[in-house]
Amino acid sequence: MTPDVRPKPPHWTAVIFRMLPFADAASTDLPLGQLLRLSLFQVTVGMAMVLLNGTLNRVMIVELGTPTWLVAILIAVPVVVAPFRALIGHRSDTHRSVLGWRRVPYIWFGSLLQFGGLAIMPFALLLLGEADRFELGLVAGAFAFLLTGIGFHVTQTAGLALATDLAPEIKRPRAIALLYVMLLVGMMLAAFVIGGMLHDYSPMRLVQVIQGTALITLILNTIALWKQEARNPKITAPDRDTPTFSELWQTFMRDGRNARLLTAIGIGAAGFAMQDALLEPYGGEILKLSVGATTGLTGVWALGSLIGFMWSGRMLGFGGDPMRIAGKGIVIGINAFLMVLFAAPFGSPFLLYLGALTIGIGLGLFSVGTLMEAMALAKNETAGMALGAWGAVQATCAGAGIAIGGILRDIVAMLVQGDAPAATLAMRSTGYSTVYIIEIALLLAGLAALGPLVGRSRRNAKSEADQSDQPFGLQEFPT
């Protein structure tokens, strides 16, 4: 009897693995298990982002009664560090040490800062609820937010650089893509878990959740870092010559073609970010959602971002223009904010959740499209500077948008709740709605700024011809 030599059907787990956008990220030099373990630092960054941008702003505004504009400024504090990511990456590239590690010191100290900021954060925030200690709580809260922000920016920058060092060049984009996907996965899991734990809110439960997050951060980052980087004293020798950051930056800035792209990135980033400090308080104050329910909004937003990331990867794989992808993200974002805007008059939590999901999809498309164009604009020797400029402009404008959104909401609410004639037409949601309308206007302006760039990608002919053969991934994707 002839033996059956037909190949066995692949196991269902193998089928699912091949469907993922990072299915071929692993390599002989960087096995999948090691890569997944390294990606744990992205999970902790996602946890911190959920706390800072999601849960805590709602708790401070609704439960603690802190003015929205102060909360918005606190949330924007970590973003102050983001423009220095390019410098952080350069310092880890040129780190001088007799120990032979370039990335490990930055990831470790970043983890310690992240842990320290989260450890003291709940006590600082609880002081905001006491009138006689409000100023002390505000200063301590700003310090905690700053420590956490410095920590996860340093950790993420050095961690992505370490992944770039470990992965072979042909697999590098897929490996970094996996790390970004793990960031979104961490945000989704943290949003749903934290939301469930804070369903019945109490100050003691808040302390337990935040300090538990601090402990998990230190544990996961230690696991992620353990035996990842081999010691090489030669590349960290104190007496070696290294280019300065200013020299590299000046080389990049000599190309003046980036102004319009950076302008569009800044306008779009501000347009998407103004709602960051308002979405959960909007659900809690206007639609009467619980802390757990509003924290779920961040998870839905992260899911939308993941969908946008995968969708943009598919379009780029078929030769899509990055600027068209970014423009599509802006159009989707405009429709998303219209959903959020009409959630209040219709009293529809479903419309709010759908809007949060769609905001994430639009932001994912816009971010990937503009980043890919920034990478295309740069020469090989200045690619890092292009990515640094992308991250700096996006983070700075996003931080400014968060702060301005909170301030505008409070100003409008104060004006319409007085005795002015406009007060008769006002509703409790007027302050929020004003910000959402401004965001729609900013996204329209960003769409106009992107228009002249569509179809003018500076990719060379060879890369365009072989686009469908190239694996999609990101060399670096800043927060």
Which tens digits make up the pLDDT trace of 243-301? 666 766 666 666 556 677 888 888 998 999 888 778 888 888 888 888 778 777 877 88
Burial class (CB in 10 A: 0-12, 13-18, 19+), 246: exposed
| DSSP state letters, 156-174 | HHHHHHHHHHHS-GGGHHH
In the block, residue with structure tokens 């538990």? 212
pTM of structure: 0.68
Nearest partner of 335 among 365, 312, 303, 310, judged by Cα: 365
Q: Please give the torsion angle defined by the CA atoms of residues 239, 245, 251 and 257, in that order, rounded to the nearest 10 degrees.
A: 160
Please check whether residue 229 is in contact with residue 165, taking contact to mean a CB–CB distance below 8 angstroms. Answer: yes
pLDDT at 464: 44
pLDDT at 384: 47
pLDDT at 445: 93
In the predicted model, what is the mean pLDDT of residues 415-438? 69
Angle at 254 between CA 252 and CA 258, to 5 degrees: 70
Q: Is the pLDDT of residue 467 over 50?
A: no
Q: How confident is the model at residue 479 (pLDDT cuts 50, 70, 90)?
A: very low
Q: Where are the alpha helices (DSSP H) in 318-429?
A: 322-346, 349-377, 383-416
C-alpha distances (whole Å) from 238 to each of 101, 309, 377 are: 12, 40, 34
Q: How confident is the model at residue 241 (pLDDT cuts 50, 70, 90)?
A: low
pLDDT at 98: 58
Q: Is the pLDDT of residue 446 over 80?
A: yes
pLDDT at 411: 84
pLDDT at 205: 84
Q: Is the pLDDT of residue 224 over 60?
A: yes
More confident residue, 382 or 198: 198
Strand (E) or helix (H) holding 285: helix 279-285
pLDDT at 455: 67
Please check whether residue 438 is in contact with residue 278, taking contact to mean a CB–CB distance below 8 angstroms. Answer: no
Structure-block tokens of residue 410: 């409070």
pLDDT at 469: 47
pLDDT at 309: 80
pLDDT at 474: 47
* Mean per-residue pLDDT of the chain: 75
pLDDT at 39: 83
Q: What gap in Å lies between CA 235 and CA 245, rounded to an integer?
A: 18
C-alpha distances (whole Å) from 146 to each of 116, 141, 337, 340, 374 are: 10, 8, 29, 30, 28
* Phi, psi (deg, nearest 5) at residue 204: -65, -40
- Amino acid identity of 217? T
pLDDT at 335: 94
Output Rg (C-alpha) for the chain, integer angstroms: 23
In the block, residue with structure tokens 């072979």? 168
Q: Where are the alpha helices (DSSP H) in 198-275?
A: 203-225, 245-253, 259-273
User: Among 141-145, 176-180, 208-212, 280-284, which is the least confidently predicted range?
Assistant: 176-180
Q: Is the pLDDT of residue 478 over 60?
A: no
Q: Is the pLDDT of residue 422 over 70?
A: no
Q: What gap in Å lies between CA 178 and CA 23, rounded to an integer?
A: 9
Q: How confident is the model at residue 459 (pLDDT cuts 50, 70, 90)?
A: very low
Nearest partner of 177 among 189, 188, 167, 192, judged by Cα: 167
pLDDT at 357: 93
In the predicted model, what is the mean pLDDT of residues 344-365? 90
Please check whether residue 266 is in contact with residue 394, taking contact to mean a CB–CB distance below 8 angstroms. Answer: yes
More confident residue, 326 or 160: 326
Structure-block tokens of residue 416: 């319409």
- Amino acid identity of 356? A
Q: Please give the torsion angle defined by the CA atoms of residues 260, 149, 42 and 333, in that order, rounded to the nearest 10 degrees.
A: -40
pLDDT tens sequence across 132-161: 788 888 888 888 888 988 888 888 878 877
pLDDT tens sequence across 98-134: 566 678 888 888 889 999 988 888 888 888 777 778 8
Q: Is the pLDDT of residue 24 over 60?
A: no
Angle at 128 between CA 122 and CA 130, to 5 degrees: 115
In the predicted model, what is the mean pLDDT of residues 61-81? 76
pLDDT at 329: 93
- Percent of the chain predicted with pLDDT > 70: 71
Q: What gap in Å lies between CA 442 and CA 421, rounded to an integer?
A: 28
Nearest partner of 450 among 337, 324, 358, judged by Cα: 324
